[in-house]
Structure formats: structure tokens, C-alpha cells
Structure 1
Amino acid sequence: MPATNRILVVSFSPIYRDARVLRQISALEHVGEVTTVGYGDHPAGATHHFQIPDGNASLPQTIPGVLTLGLRQWKRAEMAAPASKRTVELVGDRRYDVAVANDARALPAAFAVANGAPVVADLHEWARGERTHVAAWRILVSPLMDHICREYLPRTSAASTVGAEIAKLYEREYGVRPQVVRNAAPFHDLEPTRVSDDVIRLVHTGAANYGRNIEAMIEATIRAGERYTLDLYLVPAADGGAYLKTLKEAAGGNPRVTFHDPVKPHEIPDTINEYDVGIFWIPPFSTNARLTLPNKIFDFIQGRLAVAVGPSIEMVKVVNDYGIGVVSEDYTVESIIETLASITPDQVRAWKSATNRAAHELSFEREAQTIQSMVRGALEPTA
């Protein structure tokens, strides 16, 4: 009987609540035994887990580490982050058949602990543009991400990313064309719910992060009139909930805007199934914002909702290709109000029916096949 493939998944995130990595693990369970390295508790699907202490930052943040960035000592900076060093300590001399690195920042550590085994990269977004709206990131960290991609991406056995446009960027800049693994939710066996002639029920899910334009969605809903309600399922951000507090203040206790506790990622489609339109208008303040194709769009689809978005390239393609909703001219409150005013109950019913038809094709089950194919391909030379 052949030995079980040993797969190491490295992610500098709290994997137990990282939706993309959890889905990745669920796909890899069918390829071999999965060991994870990351923050937080043992994640579902992993046979073994090495927990990186929360205080171990995933970027060089100590004085010596920051100096390596300031002096452009990229080779030293690659492994200067406490999380990278701790990964090497935790894994020790254990051997794996393949390592999967989540995000560019995990690539040096994944290669260090792979000990010659193939490495597969899952680039969740455009690495060097992750936080370019923050000056320190733009000046110090973005060049490090660029170095890591140039140094390590060509050495990977395979790579993936969240959308076709970002895949083109990686190919243009680094000569590596990642395969596309979208942030699709697993298939949920649901049906579209009834649409009222009197009220259109809007919903938005995700992190309460500055830049997500949630305050505009709240203002637009209130100003659009009694015909609209908005329910928000928001996860407080790393700002200690400061932005979430400002959003609640912006809503001003309006009875048509309701804040709910966040729900677990796998529970979102069932939770939002009762609503009509999933909404998201994120301005293109960065490359990743401009090219985003987020979890929530696929959650809306699995929840059998219509979709209303701004003119974001990747989201527009999904909405238009499958006929599941409406696209605004821009991201302003006035444009959002105009879009809401244009929606009729009959359109919402048609769009919800379209998401129902598209739900199988736009489910994670399709994306899982790509993940499995990449990792099996990486394993072939050692099989």
C-alpha cells in the first residue's frame, strides 16, 4: 500500500478562521495528510498543527529587522520576521513531500522547511500591493515582497492566485503565470427566497476595515428611502473595532440599518439566504482593491442573492457573465442611490434565479480541483 503524501501548509494567519486556507485544507485532505503552521488553534481538516505564538509578527518588526528593510538587505530580511524563524523551529527536521505557502511573505519559510521538497504558492492577492496605502508598508515592505517574488516564485512547482487580472500581473512582473483559484464558497443546497414588492432587503458581510466604503452603503440605504433595508454582518478589524463604532454612529440608530454579530464563514450563505441583494462598492484605492474578487461575492451567490457592486473589473465580469445583478457607474453615495432606485422586484427575482443556476459552477468544488491538480503535479517527481 502506497505511503500517504505528507503536505505542509504554511500560512501566517489564524488558519482556524481563515476561509481561503480552510478551503485549501479541505481540498488537500483528499491528496494526503495535512500539517499546518500558523497562528491560533488547530484548524479543521489538519492532522497536525504547529501554532505560532500570536506575538510573533509575520514581518520584520524588531529594530534589527526594520534595519534590514531600511538598508535594503533583502536576503537577511527574508527570514527576519519572528514568525518565519518560529516556523523553522517548530517544523525542525521533519520531512514533507510538498509544502504550500500562503502569500508571498510565507515563501522563504516554506522553502526553508521544505528541505528540497517542492513548494506550491497560493498568492492570495497582489503581494507587493497589499497595503500600499500605508506609507511604512509602501517604503519598507513592498520592496521586500517584490524581492521575495523575484527570488522564489520562479522556483515554485506551481502557483495560484484569486483572479485572472492579478495572475496577469504576476506573469508580467515575474514571468510566472499563476492558476486562478477564486475565493468561492462550497456549494450550498439552497433556493432563492421570496422577494417582496414593497421592500428590498440588502445585506453586506465581511471585515469592518477602513477603505471598504461601508459608510457609503449605510448612507445610501438611509437616503434611498423606506423601500430599502440593510443588514450588516461585520467582523471587527484589527483597529479594536474603531471603524465598526463609527459605522454604528453613522447609522444613527436608523431602524432600517441592522448590525449583527459575525457568523462563521461556512454559515454565511445559510444566514443571508433570507435577503435579496448582496452589496459591495469598494473604491480602487489600491491594485488589490481595483482587482478584488472577494469571498463575499461567492457567499452572495451561494446564498442565492442578487448582487450589486461598483465597477470593479473582476466583480463586473462575474456579475455580467452570469446575469446575476447590477453594476453602478462609480463608488459614490449618489451612484449607489441611483443604482438602488433603478432596481425593481422583478429584476431581483430574475437575478436570484440566475445565481441559483450559477451556484454549482461558481462553487469551491470547481476550485478544489485546481488546488488538487497543482499539488498532485508537484508530487509526481517524488511519487
Structure 2
Amino acid sequence: MAGKRVLCISFSDINRDARVLRQLEVLAELGEVTTVAYGEQPPGATEHLRVDEALPSLPQTLSGVARLALRRFDAVELTAPAIREALRLVGDRRFDLVVANEARAMAMAHEIAHGAPVLADLHEWAPEERTHVLSWRLLVKPFMTHQCAKYLPKMSAVTVVNDSIGAMYTERFGVAPRTVRNTGPYRDLEPSDMAAGRIRLVHSGGAVPGRNIEAMIEAVRRLDERFSLDMYLVPARDGGKYLDSLRALIGDETRIRVHPPVRPAELADTLNGYDVGIFSLPPLTPNHRLMLPNKIFDYVQARLGIVFNASLETDRIILDHDLGAIAPDPTEGALHDTLAELTEDQVRGFKQNADKAAKVLNSVEDSAVTRTLAAELLGQRA
């Protein structure tokens, strides 16, 4: 694949986006990779075109919102401030393969490709990403649905995070996505020893409203002194306001602590010193209902027991490998009651089961899917 040029588009802070970082590892094996994204140059990129983090990747300008309201989707698809900046940065460069992360990047990828193949990694279900927000439901959902209907047939290959979401794209848009789960690389770790009389809970993820972090805090506050909760939180793009509100909610509760985020490559080692990874997410959207997040695989590689609220895809993994307990719903009470029933012996067993599962719940299989698709598409240009 010498001499092949690949463009990877991602409107995320790329160094905090574990899925895209794993994608880059594979793409870098196949050619020289140019990234266009928010944040500093990531590992694996030969060239990085940095988009100003203050620029939104949706058409949130006055004229953009007006066009969305008037359903002038073709006229607005390349007008989001971040997309306009990304197009300027890319300029007249030419590539042998373009990778578009998430549906919002498909129009730009098609524009830049100039006939080269485009691989769309949609991640999750794009049309209803944030339909619990009224403005998204009224303005962005129709736009995203139009983008999928227009551009998915033009994509050379499509990947998604799990089979359930892939089936939704097949039913609605007639495409057949391949599944690339959010698995991370295998980590050569062992379960940490339990501390007598203690169950050390941990949570990692974004400090974003709607992630039910308040319920986790309140559930742990009501637990007995055996339990503590440490949270490694990525601040939202709000100047730290939401994170500050969480700290205020915790107050003087010494058993609940907030830590700065750690890089994806360091996460498993950091989490390994704990006992149980927790997560609770209300099913406000199809993506919530069918969630299969990075963190469940991070927790496995860290050799932790797992407690999640009930959800189709995560239930399957927890039950198949006997990794932990499932709260029947995402309420504070259900999470509290599920955690309260844990014993040290149970948790020790869950951690041992995670050690076995880590050998199969890693990115070897999923990276192979990306590698095969990208190599085939580059071969078409040979």
C-alpha cells in the first residue's frame, strides 16, 4: 500500500475519541493518513488539519437554522462552520480513500473524494442521535435522515457499532453495514486484589448532561461505607459548568471523587485498581436503548466487574461472560439496590471472569473488519 493517501474526517476531539484512534492505527498500516478534526495531531497521522474547536459541525448559524427549518437540506449540507473550515484546510489535496466518521461528515467526504472510495463509519444511529432535545428533533433529525438517504448509497462501505444499529440502517436505508464494535486492544493485566471490606466502584466517560451521572452519585451516596466511587470525566464543551455542578452535588461526600480524564491508551491501567465499573443511561434515544459503549470493553480490559442498567447489547455481553449484575432500569433506586446486593466474593468472581473475557472482547476482530474494508477500497484505486 506504499504511496496510498488516506483522509480521516472526524468532528470530535480526536485524541479523546477512542474509536477513531483505533481506526487510525489500522489506516496508518495502509498508507499515509491525513486527519481533519478538532484537537492536536493524533498518533498515526502523517499530517493533521486542526479545526477550531469553537466551530460547530452542524449548521447552527442563523442562516443555517433557517434553511433547516425550510427543509433546504442540499443547500445547507456544507455550510456548518466546522465543515466550511475543514474544506478550506483540505484545499485541493487528493486522496485514495476518504473515511467519514459519523453521518455529518458524509457530504464533505463525498465532496472531497473526487471519485475516490469513501468509507463511512456511522458509529451509531444518526437520525435520532439527540432526539430527546426538541431542537434536534424538529430541525436536525429530518436533515440527518435526508443525509443518510442521499449519501449512504454513494458510500463504498459502511460500518456501525453493533448489529442492532446496523439492522436499523438496512431496514430504513437499504445498506448492509459491517459491525466494528468499540472494543479496545488487549491489555496484559490481572485483576487487582480486593481490599477487605471495600468495593471500589469506578466510572469513566463524558461529563455530559443526560448521561445520568447524578443518579450514580445519589445511588452511591445511599450505599453503606463499603462502597466508594471514583469518576474519570471528560469535561463537556461548556467551560466546565456541568462538571462544576456535579462537584457541587457531591459536596463533602468523601467516598465520591472526580478525577481528570486519562488518555484512552492509559485508561485500562488506571481503572485496574478498582473493582466494579458502573454505568446507567436512560433509553431516551435508540442509541441509548441499543448502547454498546467503549466503557464496557474498557472495564473488561481493566479486569473489573460490571454493573449497567438493562440494555439489549450490553446485557448480552454481561450475561454471556458472567461479568456482573444488571440493574432492571436506569433509576437511582434500581442502581442502588443492585449495587447493595453485591458481595466481595461475587465481585472477585466477576473480576476473574473479566480476565477470561478480555482475551476475546478486544479489538483484534473488529480492527480486522476495518483493515479488510480499507485495504479492499485502496486496492480498487491501485
Query: Is the TM value for this pair above 0.5?
Result: yes
Instruction: Specify the alignment match of 1:359 in structure 2.
Output: 358
**C-alpha separation in 2, matches of 1:296 and 1:194:** 21
Counterparts of 1:54-69 in structure 2 under 5 Å? 54-69=53-68
**C-alpha separation in 2, matches of 1:186 and 1:259:** 26
Question: Quick check: 2:2–2:30 contact (8 Å CA) kept in 1?
Answer: no
Letter matched to residue 208 of structure 1? A
Instruction: Specify the alignment match of 1:179 in structure 2.
Output: 178
Question: Quick check: 2:203–2:278 contact (8 Å CA) kept in 1?
Answer: yes
Question: Quick check: 2:2–2:31 contact (8 Å CA) kept in 1?
Answer: no
**C-alpha separation in 2, matches of 1:330 and 1:40:** 36
Instruction: Specify the alignment match of 1:298 in structure 2.
Output: 297
Instruction: Specify the alignment match of 2:96 in structure 1.
Output: 97
3-state SS of paired residue (2:217): helix
Deviation at 1:14, TM superposition (A): 2.1
**C-alpha separation in 2, matches of 1:333 and 1:67:** 40
Counterparts of 1:323-362 in structure 2 under 5 Å? 323-362=322-361
**C-alpha separation in 2, matches of 1:241 and 1:92:** 34
Deviation at 1:311, TM superposition (A): 0.3
Greater CA drift, 235-244 or 167-176: 235-244
Instruction: Specify the alignment match of 1:36 in structure 2.
Output: 35
Tell me if 1:230 matches 2:213.
no
Instruction: Specify the alignment match of 2:372 in structure 1.
Output: 373
What 5-or-longer segments of structure 2 have no aligned partner?
none
**C-alpha separation in 2, matches of 1:90 and 1:293:** 33
Deviation at 1:333, TM superposition (A): 1.8
Question: Quick check: 1:196–1:345 contact (8 Å CA) kept in 2?
Answer: no
Instruction: Specify the alignment match of 1:50 in structure 2.
Output: 49
Instruction: Specify the alignment match of 1:245 in structure 2.
Output: 244
Letter matched to residue 78 of structure 1? E
**What TM-score comes out, normalization by structure 2 length?**
0.96
Letter matched to residue 300 of structure 1? Y
Deviation at 1:207, TM superposition (A): 0.9
Question: Quick check: 1:208–1:243 contact (8 Å CA) kept in 2?
Answer: yes
**C-alpha separation in 2, matches of 1:21 and 1:80:** 24
Instruction: Specify the alignment match of 1:257 in structure 2.
Output: 256
3-state SS of paired residue (1:29): helix
Deviation at 1:171, TM superposition (A): 0.9
**C-alpha separation in 1, matches of 2:198 and 2:75:** 58
Question: Quick check: 2:6–2:98 contact (8 Å CA) kept in 1?
Answer: yes
3-state SS of paired residue (2:203): strand
3-state SS of paired residue (1:30): helix
Question: Quick check: 2:300–2:355 contact (8 Å CA) kept in 1?
Answer: yes
Deviation at 1:62, TM superposition (A): 2.1
Letter matched to residue 210 of structure 1? P
Greater CA drift, 145-154 or 75-84: 75-84
**C-alpha separation in 2, matches of 1:356 and 1:171:** 35
3-state SS of paired residue (1:188): coil
**C-alpha separation in 1, matches of 2:137 and 2:332:** 29
What 5-or-longer segments of structure 1 have no aligned partner?
none
3-state SS of paired residue (2:222): helix
Greater CA drift, 211-220 or 274-283: 211-220
Instruction: Specify the alignment match of 1:217 in structure 2.
Output: 216
Q: Over residues 102-139 of structure 1, what are the superposed CA-to-partner deviations in whole Å (9 max), with x where a residue is unaligned? A: 00000000011111000000012111111111111111
Instruction: Specify the alignment match of 1:315 in structure 2.
Output: 314
**C-alpha separation in 1, matches of 2:83 and 2:158:** 20
Deviation at 1:229, TM superposition (A): 0.9
Paired residues in the alignment total: 382
Shift of the 354–148 alpha-carbon distance from structure 1 to 2, 3 Å rule, reads same
**C-alpha separation in 2, matches of 1:63 and 1:250:** 36
